[in-house]
C-alpha cells in the first residue's frame, strides 16, 4: 500500500517539478569534472557500459536540500473521485526527497530530513499561492491505495482543515495527514 497526495482544482494547473535546484550534464562530464571517484562505483560502470560515449544526460544536485521539491502529475482520468472532491481537475502531488510532515521531534532527530520536508511543504504552499486566483480554493486529500482504486478510503470529517493563504504561515510543525481533507482558500485581500 502507498500513501498518495492529491490537489483538486476548478481549472487546469501546471505540472512537473517545482523547487528543485539541479544541474543537467552528461555522464562523462559528471565522472570527469564533478566526481571522478564515481568511475569506480558499480552503478556508474553499468551506465558507462550502456552508454560508452558518456552522452547520457543526468541530473546532479549539490545538496539533499537542492533535490527536495514538489512534483505534480495529472490531471487524473479514469478514477471516480466525485465523493471526495468538488473540483474536476485532480492532480497527484509528490514530495521529492522529503515529506509533507514537519515537527520539533523530526527537527531534533533528523535535521536534514526536517529541512528537506520543510522545503517540500514550502514549495507546496508557494505553488498554491502562484496558481490560486483571488476568491478561489483548491482541495487537498491524501489516502492509502492498494492497486488501481485510489479513492476508496473514507474521508475523516473530523480531520477537515481550512487554510487561508493570505494569513497562513508555515511554522515549525505541520502535517498533511492521511485521509485528511484540506480546503486551501485564497481570499480577496482587498478590504470591503
Tens digits of per-residue pLDDT, 37-72? Answer: 988 999 888 988 999 898 999 888 889 999 999 999
3-state secondary structure of 69: strand
What is the C-alpha separation between 20 and 65, in angstroms, rounded? 8
Confidence of residue 188 (pLDDT cuts 50, 70, 90): confident
What is the C-alpha separation between 15 and 36, in angstroms, rounded? 35
pLDDT score of 192: 43
Longest dimension (CA), the chain: 67
Give me the sign of the Cα torsion angle 35, 41, 47, 51. positive
The residues spanned by each domain of the chain are 2-19+68-186, 23-60
Of 80 and 15, the one with more pLDDT: 15
Range name among 14-23, 42-51, 86-95, 143-152 with the lowest pLDDT average: 143-152
Q: Which of 16-25, 140-149, 158-167, 181-190 has the highest mean pLDDT?
A: 16-25
3-state secondary structure of 135: coil
Confidence of residue 173 (pLDDT cuts 50, 70, 90): very high
pTM score, two decimals? 0.83
Closest by alpha carbon to 75, among 93, 97, 95? 93
Percentage of the residues of the chain whose pLDDT score is greater than 90: 62
Specify burial of residue 92 (Cβ count, 10 A radius: 0-12, 13-18, 19+). middle
pLDDT score of 84: 83
Q: Mean pLDDT across the stretch 73-98?
A: 90
Amino acid at each position: 500500500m502507498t500513501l498518495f497526495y492529491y490537489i483538486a482544482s476548478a481549472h487546469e494547473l501546471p505540472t512537473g517539478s517545482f523547487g528543485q535546484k539541479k544541474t543537467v550534464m552528461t555522464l562523462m562530464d559528471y565522472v570527469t569534472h564533478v566526481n571522478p571517484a564515481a568511475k569506480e562505483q558499480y552503478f556508474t560502470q553499468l551506465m558507462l557500459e550502456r552508454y560508452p560515449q558518456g552522452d547520457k544526460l543526468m541530473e546532479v544536485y549539490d545538496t539533499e536540500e537542492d533535490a527536495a521539491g514538489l512534483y505534480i502529475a495529472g490531471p487524473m482520468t479514469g478514477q471516480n473521485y466525485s465523493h471526495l472532491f468538488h473540483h474536476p481537475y485532480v492532480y497527484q502531488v509528490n514530495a521529492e526527497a522529503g515529506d509533507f510532515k514537519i515537527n520539533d521531534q523530526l527537527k531534533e532527530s533528523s535535521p536534514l530530513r526536517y529541512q528537506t520536508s520543510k522545503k517540500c511543504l514550502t514549495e507546496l504552499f508557494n505553488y498554491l499561492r502562484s496558481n490560486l486566483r483571488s476568491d478561489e480554493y483548491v482541495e487537498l486529500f491524501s489516502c492509502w491505495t492498494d492497486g488501481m482504486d485510489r479513492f476508496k478510503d473514507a474521508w475523516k470529517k473530523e480531520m477537515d482543515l481550512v487554510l487561508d493563504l493570505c494569513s497562513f504561515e508555515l511554522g515549525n510543525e505541520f502535517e498533511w495527514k492521511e485521509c485528511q481533507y484540506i480546503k486551501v482558500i485564497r481570499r480577496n485581500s482587498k478590504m470591503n
